[in-house]
Amino acid sequence: MKELRVAIEVAREAGRMLLAAQHRPHEIAKKSSAIDLVTEMDRRAEALIVERLAAAFPDYGFLTEESPEHGATSTRWIIDPLDGTVNYAHGHPHFAVSIALERAGEIVIGVVYHPALDEMFVAERGKGARCNDRPIRVSRTARLQEALLASGSPYDVHERPDPYMRLWRALVTRAQAVRQSGAAALDLCYVAAGRLDGYVEAGLDPWDVAAGSLIVEEAGGRVSDFQGGKDFVYGKTIVAASPALWEGLWGALDALV
C-alpha cells in the first residue's frame, strides 16, 4: 500500500530530525496547563509531515495535534508529530512520531517511530503488526498479579488529581508493577510487542492513540474505551491488553467505570 510506505518514510524523516535536535536549546511554551508543553520542534516536525503527506496525497485531510483540522474528513491522516513532548524537552529519549490513516471512520494504517531506538512499529488493518519488519504479538500473561502495566496522568492532574489517583491505586495495588512513560503511542506499541501486558489511560486525544491502537489490535490484542466500547480513538479513554489478561484488568477497573 502506497500510503503505508510513504507514512513510514515520513515518520522516519521526522523522527531523525527530532533526534538530531533534541539536545539543542528549545523554545518551550505551555498550552492547556503548566505541564502541557509544546516546542518549536513539535511544530517543525508537524510541518514536515503534513507537507510530505499532502504532496503525496493531496485529497486527504489532516487531524493533527498542533494545527486546526483541515481538508477531507472521509479519508484523513491523524498525526502526533512528537508524542512525549515533556520527555523530549527534558532530554529524555522516550518519544515518538505517530501517524495513522483513517478511512470512513476506521483506522486502516498505524505507524509509530521511536527514533532513539530506531524502532518502526507498523500495522495495516487485516495484515498484522510488525516492528522493524518482524511480526509482533501481545503477551500471554493471564494473571494481573504477574502483569506489567502502563498508565499516565492527564494534563489537568494538578487541578483534578482524584480521578487519576483512583485509577493509579486500582492498578498499582493489583498488578506486578505499573509504569508511566509519558508517551502513549509507545505504551501501546509496547503492549503490541509483549513488552507490556496492558495499558490504561484517560484524558487522551485521537493523535495519541490512533496509530498505536491499531498496532495493538493487529498484534492480537484487545482495545476498548472505559465503557468497554469502541470509542477509544475519540472518547478520551483507552484500555489495551492481551486477551489473556483482559478480564483480570477489567476487574481492576470495575469501580471506575
Which residue ranges of the chain lie beneath pLDDT 50? Answer: 30-37, 257
**pLDDT per position as a tens digit, 179-210:** 999 999 999 999 999 999 999 998 899 999 99
- Half-sphere exposure (CA, 13 Å, Cβ side) for 256? 24
CA distances from 249 to 48, 145, 148, 167, 206 (A): 39, 10, 11, 12, 23
> What pLDDT is recorded for position 183?
95
What span, in angstroms and rounded, lies between the C-alpha atoms of 78 and 72? 12
- Enumerate the CATH 3.40.190.80 domain ranges in the chain, comma separated: 144-253
> What pLDDT is recorded for position 34?
45
> What pLDDT is recorded for position 3?
96
- Enumerate the CATH 3.30.540.10 domain ranges in the chain, comma separated: 2-135
Query: Per-residue DSSP letters for 1-63?
Result: -HHHHHHHHHHHHHHHHHHHHTTS---EEESSSTT-EEEHHHHHHHHHHHHHHHHH-TT-EEE
220 backbone φψ class: left, alpha, beta (φ>0; ψ -120 to 50): left
Q: Give domain 2-135's CATH superfamily.
A: Fructose-1,6-Bisphosphatase, subunit A, domain 1 (3.30.540.10)
Top CATH class, 144-253: alpha beta
Query: Per-residue DSSP letters for 142-178?
Result: --GGG-EEE----TTTTT-HHHHHHHHHHHHTTSSEE
What span, in angstroms and rounded, lies between the C-alpha atoms of 28 and 21? 14
Contact 97, 8 (CB under 8 A): no
Contact 222, 246 (CB under 8 A): yes
- Non-local (6+) Cβ contacts of 203 within 8 A are 153, 154, 155, 156, 236, 237
By C-alpha distance, which of 168, 186, 188 is closest to 178?
168
**Alpha-carbon dihedral 211, 160, 32, 88, rounded to 10 degrees:** -60
> What pLDDT is recorded for position 249?
87
